[in-house]
Chains A and B, each alone.
Chain A
C-alpha cells in the first residue's frame, strides 16, 4: 500500500516537469515582446534593454530554462510586473479563497448530486428520474458565468439574501459571501454527479451480489446504501475527481462575476494586464492542483476498492 502510494508519487514527478517545460515554452513563443508590453510603446531603447537585462531575457535560452526550473522548485515566481509584489505572496493571499470555494462547492455538489442520483435510480423511468434528467441537461447546458449572474441577480440584488461581491471578513461573514459562488459551481456539479450516481448505481444494483444481499434478508435501504452505493463509489470517485478539477475553470468565471479574490481572478487580471510572470505562476498553480487532485484520487481508489489494496 505504501509502495503503491510511493509509485504514484514518483509518477507525478515527470508530470510536474513536463508541465513546467510546457509553461516555459508557451511563455516564450507567445507573440509580442514582454518588455514592450510592459513598458509600453513610448519606452525608449535603453529602458527596454534595461528591462530585458533585469528579467534575464537576454540570457541564452537554456540558461533561462534552468533558471526558470530552479525558481520554480524554490516556489520563487519573481515579482509582478504591475505592482512589483512578490508573486508567491500574491498567490498566498489568493489561494485560500479558491480552496474554500472548491471545498464548499464540492461538498454542496456531492450532498445534492448523490441523493438526487439515488432517488432517480430507485425510481427508474418514473417522474423523479425524468426530473433529474431535465435538471442534468440544464446543468450541462448552462454556462457557469451565466448561472452565476442569474443567482447574483435573484438572490443578491432582488432578494438581498446574500452580499453582492467581495470575500467578507471573519468566518461567518466569509461564509455568507462564499455561499452563492459555491452554490453556482455546486449546482453544475450536482447535475453531473447526479447523473453519474444514477448510472453507476443502476449498473451496480443489477449485479448478482445485490441479489445475494436481498436473499440474506437486507432491507431495501441497506441494499441500496450499504451494498449498492458502496460499490458505485468506484466509478463515482473518478467522476468526483473530474468534478473537483472542473472547479478550476469554473472558479475563473465565478470569481470574476462575484468579484472575489482567488487564483482564477488573479489569472484573469494578469492576462488583461499582460503580467507574464503572474500568468506563468497561475498556470503552474492550476497544473499542480490537477496533479494533486489526481494523487488524492489514487488514495481514494485505494480506500474504496480493496482489490487495488490486495494487488499492491
Chain B
C-alpha cells in the first residue's frame, strides 16, 4: 500500500488569535491509495471543515488553518494559493452535501461537467463531449446524450448528485472526497448513490474520503473509520474492528444508537446531552460531560490517541490499555 494522503496536526480555528475557537483541533490521519476511509461524527464535530481544509476551500479569513496536508508527499498547505486549482478537480475531486444548491443554476450540466475536464486537460471539444457522456453513463444517468443541455433545475436531487459525482470524477482523481453525499437524499436514492460510489471505486480505483454522520453508510463503503467529536479524533480503526470492538465510549454510544432489524429493545439508545458548541471546552476531553465512563483525569487532560492493536487507535483514559501511561 502506498500512502496517498497524510494529514498531520490539522488545526482550523476562528475568532481572536489569543482566544481562538478551534473547530478542528490538531487532528492527524492517513488515507492509502485506493483505500476508502470514513470520517464519522455529529454535526459540529469538524468533519466538513477537515474535508474542506484538505482542498484549502475554507475561507481564510475568517478561519485560520494550520498543519500539514501531505498529498503524495507534497504539503498542500505550503504550495502557493494560485497553484491549488491545479490540484482541485485534477488530483482530488470533491462531492458536496447539497445537490440542490451545489450546481450552477444558469449552466447546463453538460457545460458544468465539461468545465471540470476543460480546466485540466487539453482535449478537443468533441473528445470532451464524449468524456462527459461516458461519465454520465458511469454515474448511472439514463440517456446521457440528451441530458447534456439540461439545467440543474430539471433534475431531481439524486440525479443532481450523480452529476456532481460525474464532475468530481471527470479527471480520474486519485482521491475523491465526498461530504455527506447522501444526507440530503431520500432513502431509496441514498442506496442508489452509494451503489454508484462503490461502482466508481471498483472501476477507477480512486481512494475515497467519505464524510458522514451515518454509520450505516460507513459500513457499506469504508475500509477504515475515523470517529470525530468536537474537533478531535476519538477513535480510528478498520471498519470491522470498529464495529466489533469499539474502544471509545463515544463510538460505543454511536454504535448502540443504530437500530437493527432484530432489535428487542423498547427504546433506542441515545447519548445523553448534545455536542458542546465549538470552543466551549478548552481543557480535558470534550466528550466528558456526556461520557458514562468519565474520570477525574478527563477534566484535566485530553487523552492522547494510543494504539489498541494494529491499526486501531482511541483517545480515552478509561479504556486505554494498561501500561500506556
- Give the B-binding residues of A (Cβ under 8 A): 207-209, 211-219, 222, 227, 230-231, 234, 304-307, 310
Of the candidates A211, A230, A304, which one forms a contact with B102 in the assembled complex, judged by CB atoms under 8 Å apart?
A211
CB of B134 closer than 8 Å to a CB of A: no
Q: What are 21 A-to-B residue pairs whose CB atoms are below 8 Å?
A: A208-B96, A208-B101, A212-B96, A212-B102, A212-B104, A214-B55, A215-B88, A215-B168, A216-B115, A216-B119, A216-B167, A217-B85, A218-B85, A219-B82, A227-B107, A230-B104, A230-B107, A231-B104, A231-B105, A307-B105, A307-B153
Report the Cα distance A214→B102, complex, angstroms.
11
Report the Cα distance A214→B82, complex, angstroms.
11
Within 8 A of A (CB), among B82-138: 82, 85-90, 93-94, 96, 98, 101-108, 115-116, 119-120
- Give the A-binding residues of B (Cβ under 8 A): 55, 57, 82, 85-90, 93-94, 96, 98, 101-108, 115-116, 119-120, 151, 153-154, 164, 167-168, 170
Of the candidates B86, B98, B106, B120, which one forms a contact with A208 in the assembled complex, judged by CB atoms under 8 Å apart?
B98
A-B contact sample (12 more), CB < 8 A, given A215-B55, A217-B90, A231-B105: A211-B96, A211-B102, A212-B103, A214-B55, A215-B89, A215-B93, A216-B116, A217-B119, A230-B104, A230-B106, A306-B151, A306-B153
Closest 7 interchain pairs by CB? A217-B89, A208-B101, A217-B88, A216-B89, A215-B94, A209-B104, A217-B85
Q: Are A215 and B57 in contact (CB under 8 A)?
A: yes
| Chain A residues with CB under 8 A of B103 | 209, 212
| Chain B residues with CB under 8 A of A216 | 88-89, 115-116, 119, 167, 170
Q: Are A227 and B88 in contact (CB under 8 A)?
A: no
Among B55, B82, B89, B106, chain A packs the most CB atoms within 10 A around the CB of B106
Q: Are A207 and B85 in contact (CB under 8 A)?
A: no
Report the Cα distance A306→B90, complex, angstroms.
29
Report the Cα distance A213→B103, complex, angstroms.
9
| Chain B residues with CB under 8 A of A304 | 106
Report the Cα distance A217→B173, complex, angstroms.
12
Q: Are B57 and A214 in contact (CB under 8 A)?
A: yes
Closest Cβ neighbor of B82 among chain A residues: A219
Q: Are A209 and B57 in contact (CB under 8 A)?
A: no
Q: Are B89 and A231 in contact (CB under 8 A)?
A: no
Q: Are A217 and B86 in contact (CB under 8 A)?
A: yes
Across the A-B interface, how many residue pairs have beta carbons closer than 8 Å? 77
Closest Cβ neighbor of B113 among chain A residues: A216
Report the Cα distance A230→B104, complex, angstroms.
10
SS class, residues of chain A in contact with chain B: helix
Report the Cα distance A230→B105, complex, angstroms.
10
Closest Cβ neighbor of A230 among chain B residues: B106
| Chain A residues with CB under 8 A of B88 | 214-217
Nearest Cβ on chain B to A72's Cβ, whole angstroms: 40
Of the candidates A207, A211, A305, which one forms a contact with B57 in the assembled complex, judged by CB atoms under 8 Å apart?
A211
| Chain A residues with CB under 8 A of B170 | 216
Answer whether A217 and B116 are a contact pair too, CB < 8 Å, given A208-B96, A310-B151: yes
Among A209, A214, A215, A307, chain B packs the most CB atoms within 10 A around the CB of A215
| Chain A residues with CB under 8 A of B104 | 209, 212-213, 227, 230-231
Nearest Cβ on chain B to A106's Cβ, whole angstroms: 23
Nearest Cβ on chain A to B87's Cβ, whole angstroms: 7
Report the Cα distance A219→B119, complex, angstroms.
9
Report the Cα distance A8→B136, complex, angstroms.
38
Closest Cβ neighbor of B177 among chain A residues: A215
Among A212, A219, A306, A307, chain B packs the most CB atoms within 10 A around the CB of A212
Report the Cα distance A234→B94, complex, angstroms.
28
| Chain A residues with CB under 8 A of B55 | 214-215
| Chain A residues with CB under 8 A of B57 | 211, 214-215
Report the Cα distance A35→B101, complex, angstroms.
66
Q: Are B153 and A310 in contact (CB under 8 A)?
A: yes
Closest Cβ neighbor of B105 among chain A residues: A307
Q: Are A207 and B119 in contact (CB under 8 A)?
A: no
Among B93, B105, B120, B154, chain A packs the most CB atoms within 10 A around the CB of B105
Nearest Cβ on chain A to B312's Cβ, whole angstroms: 32
Q: Are B106 and A306 in contact (CB under 8 A)?
A: yes
Nearest Cβ on chain A to B109's Cβ, whole angstroms: 11
Q: Are A217 and B105 in contact (CB under 8 A)?
A: no
Q: Are A231 and B85 in contact (CB under 8 A)?
A: no
| Chain B residues with CB under 8 A of A231 | 104-106
| Chain A residues with CB under 8 A of B102 | 208-209, 211-212
Report the Cα distance A304→B85, complex, angstroms.
27
Nearest Cβ on chain B to A64's Cβ, whole angstroms: 51
| Chain B residues with CB under 8 A of A211 | 57, 96, 102
| Chain A residues with CB under 8 A of B167 | 212, 216
